[in-house]
């Protein structure tokens, strides 16, 4: 049997696919409908679910809304502009399970010793810097962020704003298939893609996490 991972604030499943590739059975929870989520999905308030659920999980991933720490504010989405990281951490600690909290760079002051991951560490054509806090000691990839050293002509459909030399994700002027390929995701719409975590990130995390939760047969 595969270890079970609870994917909170799951969105359309970018993180989920990475964990599944690493060897987890994944179940997603989100307050919004997620028709493109590729695994078992429950529509519910993630924090209420975590508070009352008594399921048998081996690890938990949580991606609280990041809009509070960005210039992009989604309107009409419950809790979209609230900082839910402290409340999420408090509930995760109560479970006693290994956990991962993901968020954007500007959320760094609210995270505890987070590890930064970016697309260049995994040969992806996106920057997509994301921070990951764990309670079990996530190790850094051996590659650093390399965007400013990459060749200008490496990526078809890319832009060079801010010297990133990577594909912009979440904009209409670049074909959806170019953005999907850059993220390593082929099942999401553009709005879903704009908020997603590349599966390569959580596959890397999941491989380390798996060693901490596997039970001998």
> In the prediction, which pLDDT does 111 show?
97
- Strand-pairing partners, residue 41, are 28
> In the prediction, which pLDDT does 55 show?
83
Q: How far apart are CA 79 and CA 198, in angstroms?
A: 23
Residue 34, pLDDT above cutoff 60: yes
Q: How far apart are CA 145 and CA 7, in angstroms?
A: 26
Mean pLDDT of 57-67: 93
Do residues 133 and 114 lie in contact, with contact meaning Cβ atoms separated by under 8 Å? Answer: yes
Phi, psi at 201, each rounded to 5°: -65, -50
Q: How far apart are CA 76 and CA 31, in angstroms?
A: 12
Among 212, 215, 205, CA closest to 14: 205
Residue 40, pLDDT above cutoff 70: yes
pLDDT, mean over the chain: 87
Among 75, 98, 127, CA closest to 19: 98
In degrees, rounded to 5, the angle at the alpha carbon of residue 108 between the alpha carbons of residues 102 and 114 is 55
Between β-strands 99-103 and 59-62, what pairing exists: parallel, antiparallel or unpaired?
A: parallel
Continuous segment of H or E residues that includes residue 61? strand 59-62
Among 145, 139, 111, CA closest to 207: 139
- DSSP code per residue over 80-129: TTS--HHHHHHHHHHHTS-EEEEE-GGGGGGSSSPEEE-GGGGT-S----
Q: How far is CA 67 from the centre of its chain?
A: 14
Residue 151, pLDDT above cutoff 60: no
Return the structure tokens found at 14: 């970018």
- Least-confidence region, from 75-79, 145-149, 195-199: 75-79
Residue 77, pLDDT above cutoff 70: no
> In the prediction, which pLDDT does 145 show?
82
Continuous segment of H or E residues that includes residue 62? strand 59-62
Residue 148, pLDDT above cutoff 70: no
Angle, nearest 10°, between helix axes 14-22 and 199-213?
40
Record the pTM. 0.89
Topology at the third CATH level for domain 4-213: Rossmann fold (3.40.50)
User: Which range among 32-41, 73-82, 153-162 has the greatest average pLDDT?
Assistant: 32-41
Q: How confident is the model at residue 160 (pLDDT cuts 50, 70, 90)?
A: very low
Residue 202, pLDDT above cutoff 60: yes
> In the prediction, which pLDDT does 123 show?
87
Return the structure tokens found at 153: 């002509």
Do residues 16 and 206 lie in contact, with contact meaning Cβ atoms separated by under 8 Å? Answer: no
Q: For the chain, which residues make up each domain, given as ranges? A: 4-213
């Amino acid at each position: 049997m595969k270890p079970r991972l609870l994917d909170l604030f799951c969105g359309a499943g970018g993180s989920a696919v990475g964990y599944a590739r690493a060897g987890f059975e994944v179940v997603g929870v989100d307050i919004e409908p997620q028709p493109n989520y590729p695994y078992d999905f429950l529509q519910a308030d993630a924090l209420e679910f975590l508070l009352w659920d008594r399921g048998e999980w081996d690890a938990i991933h949580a991606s609280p809304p990041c809009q509070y720490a960005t210039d992009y504010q989604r309107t009409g989405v419950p809790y979209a502009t609230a900082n839910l990281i402290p409340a999420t951490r408090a509930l995760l600690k109560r479970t006693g399970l290994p956990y991962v909290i993901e968020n954007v760079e500007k959320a760094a002051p609210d995270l505890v010793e987070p590890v930064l991951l970016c697309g260049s560490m995994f040969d992806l054509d996106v920057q997509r810097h994301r921070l990951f806090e764990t309670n079990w000691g996530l190790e850094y990839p051996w590659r650093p962020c390399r965007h400013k050293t990459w060749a200008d002509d490496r990526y078809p459909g890319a832009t060079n704003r801010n010297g990133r030399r990577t594909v912009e994700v979440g904009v209409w002027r670049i074909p959806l298939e170019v953005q999907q390929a850059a993220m390593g995701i082929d099942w999401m719409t553009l709005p879903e893609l704009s908020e997603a975590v590349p599966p390569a990130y959580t596959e890397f995390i999941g491989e380390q996490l798996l060693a901490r939760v596997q039970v001998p047969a």
